Chain A
């Protein structure tokens, strides 16, 4: 459904570009949830915006690589241009629904507006479709909520509204950038459950972005781990958690408090991620890697296939079967 190839997003002057996303590739199939996970600043949002054709202007730009939607190159097209050119539909949801919702318009009207744009229907027909969408996202009391204003809704309900608006275009690909990060765990579990249900029911492809390995384990079918603008490991979710091959992936899992109950000290990854453009050569993780070799500091690491569908960007990957 969606193929991203060597996507590189850069900032700074043309003559001396700094790559904040450096050669990212992944595939996303119908009915599949791909989790993209990494710590803040690693380039998750820039990747998702570039995939959507929504990079902020002026600023970061796609310097190289391609975004293919059902085989068509849509790299330089914005979402509506893609639809006009008949390339298929993508929609996106974000962490903070309040920044995308109009505070003084009823949510029914806001969803109906999205319906009008995408389906060319208006008035009562659009409003009735809006109600259907609210039912689809399992909004409690959907009929009543059509006339509510955003501030009258809870954070979880607002995220449901955003999902309803995203679904108005009947997307084949939904990009979700940390949609549950601002929610309590009790509400997060509902929204994650909803996304899984919608993915299955609508046979939608979902690119789900988060910094939380727990969320990934609960939701994703496959996972790509990002570090300093690169995908350092990709695997099916069971393989990733069962046999992580990249030292960063392993480190991320090890330092989670919930994997260390009763332990006196938490394992840590020393230092912090590099500022984009400051690692001149070698592996971007070399500075923090406990297993670093001299070679890692000078030569870019290879992308190895550890097992079928399990790729790792490392010259000295972990052996399989290391976690309990």
Chain B
């Protein structure tokens, strides 16, 4: 990892209260996650649904309050920071959501939605500058500037997600946190939007946290990937390393279960992936132990912590690899 770390998250803990069968529980959605992001880098976060990916992203942008931990943006602590540093961070760390329908206000024009963050922060010096910025941003995401006066219902899913990206990059942020940004899109449109995000990453030197349940998509866009299981990072390494030589038993299952588009490489019936966990019944030792093919006695008692393995900065939380 290079020296210019732009975002540094240490030991993030987030819990929610939840009700089940009439009883109240606390659910530990994020259980001590540490991540860092260098300038211009794309870090992927992958894992099954419910493992805490979205909560990590929402906590970083301040939509969820962490129970403990630190979140440093360019060296400044954001948790409990004063309103002026928070405002600066809100413009600098922006989020793209999975569902472009839910994240766009149906009664606002596309232009107003795209300019929202700039309007709130007093970024635009004149109406003309504002219109020019909207037009340039729409063009930048591959939309005709005339879309500015249209409404979300007039757009296709792919176009709406482009608007979702446009509103995240005006004014130009340092970091984009993209939460499953292409998961709701068809493959042909998904490829278009992924290409756009890679172009923006390069042109604007954006750093990105790219959250997805799809390792294929992560492999395309991110240079490093963190694999999450039950609120923890269990493996982190270069994306190619993870895809080609996954080491943690959970990562191995995730990679093996990708449906390869090649009928000569069939896997059905050949791999064991176990039952997904419930956050209501967290195992004592390694959270993955109930599904793990190589679990030993120690795994049932001791929680494995991340340690370095090999060279390229790979870390793994497992007693047996």
Residues of A within 8 A of B (CB): 39-40, 140, 154-157, 184-190, 192-193, 196-197, 211-219, 237-238, 241, 251-253, 255-269, 272
Asked whether A219 lies within 8 Å of B268 as measured between CB atoms, the reply is: yes
> Is B275 touching A241 in the complex (CB atoms < 8 A)?
no
A-B residue pairs in contact (CB < 8 Å), sample of 25: A39-B187, A154-B278, A156-B276, A157-B275, A185-B254, A186-B48, A186-B257, A189-B257, A192-B259, A192-B268, A193-B268, A196-B269, A214-B259, A214-B261, A215-B259, A216-B261, A217-B266, A218-B263, A218-B266, A219-B268, A237-B263, A253-B261, A258-B261, A259-B261, A272-B188
Q: Are B191 and A266 in contact (CB under 8 A)?
A: yes
- Report the Cα distance A40→B216, complex, angstroms: 20
Contact A241-B194, Cβ < 8 Å, known A39-B186, A192-B268, A211-B186: no
**CB-defined contacts of B269 to chain A, threshold 8 Å:** 193, 196-197
A115 CA to B30 CA, complexed, in Å? 43
- Contacts A187-B273, A189-B267, A218-B267 given; indicate if A255 touches B188 (C-beta within 8 A): yes
Measured between beta carbons, the chain A residues less than 8 angstroms from B275 are 140, 154, 156-157
Known contacts A184-B48, A265-B195, A272-B156, A255 near B187 by CB under 8 Å: yes
Provide the residues of chain B in CB contact with A190, threshold 8 Å. 273
What's the least CB distance linking B259 to chain A, in Å? 3
B192 within 8 A of A: yes
In the complex, how many angstroms separate the beta carbon of A300 from the nearest chain B beta carbon? 23
Contacts of A261 in B (CB 8 A): 219, 240, 243
Report the bound CA distance from A144 to B189 in whole Å. 44
Q: How many residues of B contact A (CB 8 A)?
A: 43
Shortest CB distance B227–A (Å): 12
> Is there a chain A Cβ closer than 8 Å to B306's Cβ?
no
Check A260–B220 contact: CB distance below 8 A: yes
Q: Does B238 contact A (CB under 8 A)?
A: no
A217 with B262, Cβ < 8 A, contacts A189-B271, A251-B188, A256-B216 known: yes
A21 to B253, CA, bound (A): 39
What residue in chain B is nearest A269 (Cβ atoms)? B188
Rounded to whole Å, the gap between the CB of A210 and the closest CB of chain B is 9
User: What 1/0 mask marks residues of chain B from 270 to 311 whose CB sits below 8 Å from any chain A CB?
Assistant: 010111101000000000000000000000000000000000
Beta-carbon contact of B260 and A218 below 8 Å: yes
Which 5 pairs from chain A and chain B are nearest by CB? A214-B259, A255-B191, A258-B216, A39-B186, A186-B273
Partner pick for B263 among A156, A185, A241, A257, CB 8 A cutoff: A241
The yes or no answer to B76 lying at the interface (CB within 8 A) is no
Judge whether B260 and A214 touch: CB under 8 Å.
yes
A218-B276 in contact given A184-B49, A272-B158 (Cβ < 8 Å): no
B319 at the interface (CB under 8 A from A): no
Docked-complex contact B253 and A186, CB < 8 angstroms: yes
Which residues of B from 133 to 173 have beta carbons under 8 Å from A? 156, 158
Q: Is B59 an interface position by the 8 A CB rule?
A: no
Contact yes or no, A258 B258, CB < 8 A: yes
Smallest CB–CB gap between A298 and chain B, Å? 25
B264 at the interface (CB under 8 A from A): yes
Is B15 among interface residues, defined by CB-CB distance under 8 A?
A: no
State whether B263 touches A238 (Cβ < 8 A): yes
Task: For A214, give the chain B residue with the smallest CB separation.
Answer: B259
**Complex contacts, B258 vs chain A, CB 8 Å:** 185, 214, 258
Q: In the assembled complex, which residues on chain A have CB atoms less than 8 Å from the CB atom of B273?
A: 186-187, 189-190
Q: From known contacts A261-B243, A272-B156, infer whether A218 and B259 are also in contact, taking CB-CB under 8 Å.
A: yes
B220 touches A268 (CB 8 A): no
Assess A258 versus B48: contact at CB under 8 Å? Given A186-B254, A187-B276: no
| Separation of A175 and B276 alpha carbons in the complex (Å) | 26
Report how far A155 CA is from B259 CA in the complex, Å: 19
- State whether the Cβ of B241 lies closer than 8 Å to any Cβ in chain A: no
Within 8 A of A (CB), among B22-77: 48-49
C-alpha gap A192/B188 in the complex (Å): 24
Among B156, B217, B273, find the residue whose CB has the most chain A CB atoms closer than 10 A.
B273
Known: A154-B276, A219-B268. A266 touches B219 (CB 8 A): no
B263: chain A residues within 8 A (beta carbon): 217-218, 237-238, 241
Determine the chain B residues whose CB is within 8 A of the CB of A187 once the complex forms.
Answer: 273, 276
Query: Please, which residue of chain B has its CB at the minimum distance from the CB of A254?
Result: B191
Residues of B within 8 A of A212 (CB): 259
Contact in complex: B219, A268 (CB < 8 Å): no
A212 to B216, CA, bound (A): 12
Q: Does B205 lie at the interface of the complex (its beta carbon under 8 Å from any beta carbon of A)?
A: no
A39 to B185, CA, bound (A): 9
Residue numbers in B under 8 Å from A258 (CB-CB): 216, 219, 258, 260-261
Q: Are B276 and A184 in contact (CB under 8 A)?
A: yes
Contacts of B267 on A, CB cut-off 8 Å? 189, 218
Check: B130 CB closer than 8 A to any chain A CB. no
Contact call A257/B186, Cβ cutoff below 8 A: no
Task: Report chain A residues within 8 Å CB of B214.
Answer: 257
B131 partner residues in chain A, CB cutoff 8 A:
none
Most buried by A among B188, B254, B264, B266: B188
Contacts of A157 in B (CB 8 A): 275
Instruction: Indicate if the CB atoms of B259 and A268 lie closer than 8 Å.
Output: no
Q: Smallest CB–CB gap between B220 and chain A, Å?
A: 4
Cα(A258)–Cα(B269), bound, Å: 21
